[in-house]
Amino acid sequence: MDLDKVVCSCMSVTSGMIKEAVDAGARTLEEVQEATGAGTVCGACLDEVKVLVDHFTSEAH
Ligand code: FES
């Protein structure tokens, strides 16, 4: 996975920033949105953000 890839162009949020939010304790799409701002503007990236949240939360045990 490319952690430098920008997932949310509105907020310039990368995959790595989503991972960091999950590592810091965010467990849901809403918590990641709060932590990173991803998906809070136009919403076009929400599907991809959600996939990443699912991916990283399933890794974080
Ligand atoms: S691309 Fe993420 S809110 Fe617009």
**Structural domains present in the chain:** 6-59 (1.10.10.1100)
- What pLDDT score does 21 carry? 98
Taking the CA of residue 46 as reference, the ligand 1 atom at the shortest distance is 2
pLDDT band for position 59 (50/70/90)?
Answer: confident
Residue with tokens 């990236």: 45
50 alpha carbon – ligand 1 mean position (Å): 12
What residue owns the CA closest to ligand 1's atom 4?
Answer: 42
Q: What residues are paired with 6 via a beta bridge?
A: 14
How many CB atoms within 10 Å of residue 25?
A: 9
Residue 13: alpha-carbon gap to chain centroid: 7
pLDDT digits (tens, 9 = 90+) for 3-54: 999 999 999 999 999 999 999 999 999 999 999 999 999 999 999 999 999 9
Taking the CA of residue 41 as reference, the ligand 1 atom at the shortest distance is 3
